[in-house]
Each structure stands twice: as C-alpha cells, then as structure tokens.
Amino acid sequence: MPTALVTGATAGIGAAFARRLAADGVSLVLVARDRERLASSAEALHKRYGVEVETLPADLTLDEGLAAVEERLRSGVDLLVNNAGFGHRAGFLDVPVADELRMLRLHCEAVLRLTRAALPSMIAKERGYVVNVASVAAFFTRGTYSASKAWAVNFSESAAAELAGTGVRVMALCPGFVRTEFHERAGMDVSGIPRFLWLRADRVVDEAVRDLALGRWVSVPSARYKLITGVGRYVPRRLAGAVSRRIGRR
C-alpha cells in the first residue's frame, strides 16, 4: 500500500489532501505542530477510511522538527505534500525580521530539505511524487510571502526538469483564495475579497491530484485563477503589484 507524508495536515489544504488520499486507500504520515489535533485527525481518518495513519508532531521552523521529518522521509514514502505555511497581516517593513525569517525557513528551507530527503528512495524505486503547495501569489508582487512562493514554484519546476525520466514527478500547486483557517490565523481581513474568488479546499486537491497524474509541473486550480495567473505572467510587474495590493489583504 502506498504511503503519503503531508505537512500542515490538520487544517485547510493539508487536511483536504489527507482526506482525499485516505479515501484512495493511501496510508498516511501526518505532520503538524499540534500533537492533540494530530491524534484527533488520525483517529477520524482511520475510522472513516480504514487506512493506517501515523502522526509526527514537528515544528518545521525549528531544526529539530525538520530533522525528525527528514529522517522519516529517508525511510521511504511514495508521495510528499509540502503544505505547511503561514502568512503575515502586515507589510514587509512592519513585520519583525525574525518572523520573516521563520516564513522563509518554512516556505523555502523546509520545502528544499524535505524534498531532498524524500527523493533518493523514490528514485531508487523509479516511482514517487512531490507536491509543493505554493500560491497564485507567486505570480504577483506581495512581500515575502509571494517571494517565498515564487521560489517554491521555480524550485519545483527545476526539480521536475532534473528528474525527468526517473519516474519521479514534482509539481507546484498554486491555489488562490481558499476557505481555510489560513487568513484567520494571520489576522487578515478578507471581507473585501469577492465571493467568486474563493475556492473549496477539496476542489483544489482534486484538481491537484488530476494535474499530478497528467505530469504537469505547475497546477493552478480553476479557470478563473488560470486566467489571473496568465495575466500576472505577462502584464508589467508594477501593474501586477498594484492589482495585488487592491485585491489582497487590508
């Protein structure tokens, strides 16, 4: 039976991945900071779907947390979902440097290290998948968050190209606004975001699984966000930044 390791697995897109994979009969390794919430999620998934669910409490902004997950990945998984992440309510100049560095560690260093730890066993089996959850923000200019997600997209595409022919696939998942705990945890006011821009986490995951099977390097769920990212790739960067400020957090 295949095994998937999902970070940030107790809420939002990570929890949606866990549900979808469990429904498909995939054994799970769930990673998050909250030990009690991990145990509750694991029990619920095991009871509903009958799959084996392992929990690994870890803070991926700390070296000991990263090392623990790296060690688990080296023992072999078939799918890695790098989903853990967070945002800041304030702009770059109003956020403490320590908090910005925590974001970079989680969105960039953790993605690099965990992907690197997972790949050797996948390559040896000539089969495996890595999904790095980025964001539509990667295609716009919106502070450290969008910069870190742009790095995740570029890293994923670079790894996918390097691994061509090995049987291992790497893909960046770039959702737009998704109804999760993400914005509430960051203290963001999203009341001005139009209803049509919101996506459901389960739909995002369904499209991601489909795109991964198709061998795509970047997945942008929904036609509306495909259009938005297409515009973001080709309009002048200053204009894209202005649009981002208007529709982004207050």
List the structure tokens of 201: 């986490």
78 secondary structure, DSSP code: S
Write down the pLDDT at residue 249: 44
Q: Which of the following is catalytic: 129, 145, 225, 234? A: 145
Cβ neighbours of residue 44 closer than 8 Å, sequence gap 6 or more:
none
pTM of the model: 0.88
Strand arrangement of the beta sheet that strand 79-82 belongs to? 53-57, 27-32, 3-7, 79-82, 128-133, 168-173, 218-219
Write down the pLDDT at residue 20: 98
Residue 130 near residue 118 (C-beta atoms within 8 A): yes
Characterize the bridge pairing of strands 168-173 and 218-219: parallel
Q: How far apart are CA 201 and CA 178, in angstroms?
A: 6
List the structure tokens of 208: 């991601």
Write down the pLDDT at residue 246: 54
Burial string for 156-188 (b: 16+ CB within 10 Å, else e) reads: beebbeebeeeebbbbbbbbbbbebebbeeeeb
Write down the pLDDT at residue 140: 87
Burial string for 73-90 (b: 16+ CB within 10 Å, else e) reads: beeebbbbbbbbbebbee
* 145 among known catalytic residues: yes
Domain 3-247 has CATH 3.40.50.720: yes
Residue 212 near residue 129 (C-beta atoms within 8 A): yes
- Domain spans in the chain, listed from the N-terminal domain onward: 3-247
Write down the pLDDT at residue 183: 47
Write down the pLDDT at residue 186: 44
List the structure tokens of 135: 């964001």
Digitized pLDDT (tens) for each residue of the chain, 250 residues in all: 899 999 999 999 999 999 999 999 999 999 999 999 999 999 999 999 999 999 999 999 999 999 999 999 999 999 999 999 988 776 777 789 999 999 999 999 999 999 999 999 999 999 999 999 999 999 987 789 999 999 999 999 999 999 999 999 999 999 988 866 554 554 555 555 667 677 999 999 999 999 999 999 999 998 988 988 887 666 655 655 555 555 444 4
Write down the pLDDT at residue 55: 98
